[in-house]
Amino acid sequence: MEDGQRETFHFTTPWEDPDGLLPLSEQQLEHFGRWARPSQFMRGEPTMIYLISSLSITQTIITDCSFVSSLVIAAAYERRHGKQLITNIIWPQDSRGQPIYNPAGKYMVKLHVNGIPRKVLVLVDDRLPLAKDGQLMTSHTTHPAELWVSIIEKAYMKLNGGYDFPGSNSGIDMFALTGWIPEQYRSDDKDFEPKRLWERMQSASRYGDCLLTVATGELDELHGQEEEKIGLVKTHAYAVLQVREACGEKLLQLKNPWSKVRWKGAFSVHDQQRWTAALRKALDYDQTSAMQHDNGVFWIDYASLLRYYQGVYLNWNPALFAHSTTRHGQWPKRHPSDTADDTASLGRNPQFALTLTVPPGAPAATWLLLTRHTVFKDQGKDDFLTIHVFKGERGGFRCYYLEEAWKEGVYSNRPHCLVQFDLPPGQHQLTLALAQYTPVPYQVDFTLKVFSMAPLSLRPLPYSMRHLERVAGSWHGPSAGGCANYDTFVDNPRVALVVPEGPPADVQVELHVPAAKAASDRVALPSVGLELLALDSALGTDKLPSKSLAASGAYRRGFCLLEVRGLAAGRYALTASTFEPRQEAGFSVVVGSSVGLTCKLLAPEGHGLERSLVRGAWAAGSTAAGCPNFGNFHNNPQYRLAVSRRTEFLVRLRLSPAERAGGGKRPALGLDLYQRDAPLGPDEARGRSQPLRSANGGVYSYPAGGMLLARAPLEAGVYVLVPSTFEPLAAAYELLWYAESGAVRVDQLR
């Protein structure tokens, strides 16, 4: 069934829009006289269309020059190519598909809104605002009884909240009228290519595949000239009627939607020098006739256009592409603890897998059009969207890091975002990641259209992990330990993961700096990283070195991702860190898994025990004795530990902050605990069979955080603790230990 056949248009009394009369603009209110139907003010019988002509359309006091310019060029297309483009969007229609005047005053206009053609939202009646002198205060044609311009304009103004139209650009308005793909060029863009634009405009004008409009910028501010002197209006849209190259000149014919005020510069109607007889003939231009009446139509050279016009808008016929598809979606709401900056993480954004099969021969053009749905008047002012494209290893899978994108989109708060690229022959797997520069407090719906010369398929890429756990924490005070370059790395917060017995788990861990932090200061986001260890290794043992099972890689601002496939049942620990120590911030660890697992924040090292710190040094020629291989092990510093009662105990040996700050290779360290009352002597220290416990199984090294005698019970008694280096080296160190309050007294023996 045709669109109009679903709607009733015939009534015994004039139909009134149940939504009421449209709000008027300030200028309209200043001159407003009354609302009237066409039969009440038009001379003769009203008609919907008398003659489609771009030259007859006239803008009045509504600030919708971009919309009227779009009507002008759409009418010019119909006239030149004999194809319906604008006249077929109005109902009711006759049996030939031509819109007709409805005495009942009800009309339906098909406009492309929020990505698709919508009709029920644009039912309008034919009541129009008249000035006190009886003049029509809407756009119209020069025919006194023709309605189509006023009716289409009223429908579009209704969708935009009323005649108090804030202004737009003609690419957006043209899409609303025709659904043709909007592309925009700005002459002030750093990568603007004048030659390429001219070629595209010429091609568009020659084959009728594209509708062209242009817009000026702030002329008086940019060039220091008055508008009247050059005959142009600042921040004003113009329809492009022709693009021609003749007699070595590049020229465009434009129309001011006011139907008056013409260009006064090179190749204007009064330019006698440049308009040669040969040029006038080539363009079929009657300069004498054009001088007689200012209808707003003029010729301008391309160089002047680039100087005075800031925006060029091309709307392309989607039928140019052999293949296309459309998807609609909704931006998921971010969790308050998620990173809010898309430059940090795209993981929570809508993403799609695009497969293209380009046949042998030439590359295939592919265009992506993202349309933001608008539900209230000022929506989109602060909502900047784009599309980033990934291929290669990440193509077809969810992507997180913007720097890995094959093609980065440009953020824009316009309703439409267009990304274009060509692909060589072959099969291509791409990921399209929709991006939002900063979150907005309202729901964002969207439509994604893909156009290509190659066969394609498009499918959503949902978050694949079935189970999700979230743990919140913070880096604060001692727990802001920094990366593994610092001994304080072990002080960072850790999260315990328990994978249950059963099949191995695929695990994906995200570390986020909270949204509140990101929204307040994008630059201040710390660089963060994740590391996965076996839990026993993370908590520390005397015999096993800490061994990383997986890491997130290079530290990244505000967000990082760690992925592990086939993680066996067991207990694990995640260390969340900033790159530099003493960077305080809140964070959220989000653990996604293919199986149900549990996770919780671990208590910090030494939790529940009293912390003590002793500083010392290996002095050259005395206490810098090295390991037992050098025969002077007993000359190393020794500490007597008097333990009055059974206690939990752990101790770390590491270089002093000054030594660590000096850089260079760190010496391999050893830490041994003997159960004895007297210090070690020369005979007793020749072998290493005596220690009760040795850090790292007695193997000298310097792991992150220094050497550790892991937390374990220590019975009441007397012990001797010996810190040493592998080779006799002079260096300052510190011993950090934890024990129950009052349970251990420490005295240095040498």
Spatial distance between the Cα atoms of 243 and 265, rounded to a whole number of angstroms: 18
Spatial distance between the Cα atoms of 205 and 452, rounded to a whole number of angstroms: 22
State the alpha helices, DSSP H only, in 594-656.
Answer: none
Beta strand 744-748 with 639-643 is: antiparallel
Structure tokens at 666: 């760190």
Q: Bin 424: left if φ > 0, else alpha if -120 < ψ < 50, else beta.
A: beta
Spatial distance between the Cα atoms of 243 and 261, rounded to a whole number of angstroms: 20
Task: Please check whether residue 691 is in contact with residue 707, taking contact to mean a CB–CB distance below 8 angstroms.
Answer: no
Q: Dihedral of CA 506/527/605/484: which sign? A: positive
Q: Helix, strand, coil: what percent of the chain each, to 5?
A: 20, 35, 45
Spatial distance between the Cα atoms of 156 and 31, rounded to a whole number of angstroms: 22
Question: Strand ranges (DSSP E) for 379-525?
Answer: 385-390, 416-423, 426-436, 445-452, 456-460, 467-475, 494-499, 505-512
**What is the DSSP annotation of 677-721?**
SSPP-TTTTSSSS--SEEGGGG--B--TT-EEEEEEEE-SEEEEE
Q: Strand pairing partners for 600?
A: 496
In what order do the strands lie in the sheet containing 385-390?
Answer: 385-390, 426-436, 351-358, 456-460
Cβ-based burial of 334 (10 A; exposed 0-12, middle 13-18, buried ≥19): middle
Spatial distance between the Cα atoms of 598 and 80, rounded to a whole number of angstroms: 69
Structure tokens at 472: 């919140």
- Whole-angstrom CA distances from 110 to 3, 79, 92, 124, 485 are 9, 20, 11, 11, 64
- Whole-angstrom CA distances from 220 to 61, 151, 216, 308, 636 are 22, 35, 11, 10, 82
Task: Please check whether residue 430 is in contact with residue 390, taking contact to mean a CB–CB distance below 8 angstroms.
Answer: yes
- The one-letter code for the residue type at 231 is G
* Of residues 636, 611, 604, the one with CA closest to residue 746: 611
The length of the chain is: 750
* Residue indicated by tokens 């709307």: 315
**What is the DSSP annotation of 329-353?**
EEPPPPPTTS---TTT--TTS-EEE
Catalytic residues: 65, 236, 256
- The one-letter code for the residue type at 695 is A
